[in-house]
Amino acid sequence: MTDETLNRLYEVRFSQKDRETKDHIWRVLCEDYFQKLIAPTDTVLDIACGFGEFIRHIHAAHKIGIDLNPENGRNLPPDIRFICTSAESIAGVDDASVDVCFASNFFEHLESKAAMDNVLREAHRVLKPGGRFISMQPNLHYSGARYWDFYDHVLPLTHTSAAEGFEKNGFVVERLIPRFVPFTTKSAIPKHPLLVKAYLRVPLLWKLMGGQFVLVARRA
């Protein structure tokens, strides 16, 4: 999709209220879960950072967001370095300079497994030895046909197929949670920050309501 088409699609999909709700949810996800995987001294690269819900709320020494849409850079605070570039060829980020790569709700938009291989190879290049790639993605295994309810979903992925893709491209999978958060923030679930905090503390609820997986892989 072109930047213009993608912008229009997101305008249709997310109202201003939807964006605010997502931002509140991501603040809790970062504070109560993902921050535990990231040190305050780390350099973090957010791949396809979008509106910056993750990278704005995570604490790190150096924060980089990349995205094909130049408009998204205007939404980020000045402490985040924004690079308008493709995730398949990450321009402006040196080899072995990043401690943590992060991607959320991104791989399903890629055109092919070959494109995903390109992204993973680039992430492997920019990560330091032993650096981590953290990914949270919709899980076709549990979402079923709902996976295709979004116009820009192209690449089908389950937690197991994604894990194979990472291992194929030089990563060691350290953590794989098949069901984590619900499939979409539009799901009929409580969205107040306190209720999101409570949800994260009860893994049994993940197994009942989760539609996205979390994968943590280390650069070998």
Tens of pLDDT, residues 182-205: 998 766 566 789 999 999 999 999
64 part of a folded domain: no
Query: How many angstroms separate the Cα of 113 from the Cα of each of 109, 157, 166, 168, 173?
Result: 11, 10, 11, 11, 18
* Tally of domains in the chain: 1
113 part of a folded domain: yes
CATH number at residue 138: 3.40.50.150
Specify the length of the chain in residues. 220
136 part of a folded domain: yes
Query: Quick one: average pLDDT of 45-50?
Result: 96
Q: Which residues contact 202 (CB under 8 A, 6 or more apart)?
A: none
Three-class DSSP category at 68: coil
77 part of a folded domain: no
50 part of a folded domain: no
Q: What is the pTM of this model?
A: 0.91
Side-chain half-sphere exposure of 204, counting CA atoms within 13 A: 1
111 part of a folded domain: yes
Tens of pLDDT, residues 56-114: 999 999 999 999 999 899 889 999 999 999 999 999 999 999 999 999 999 999 999 99
Domain housing 209: 3-45+89-219
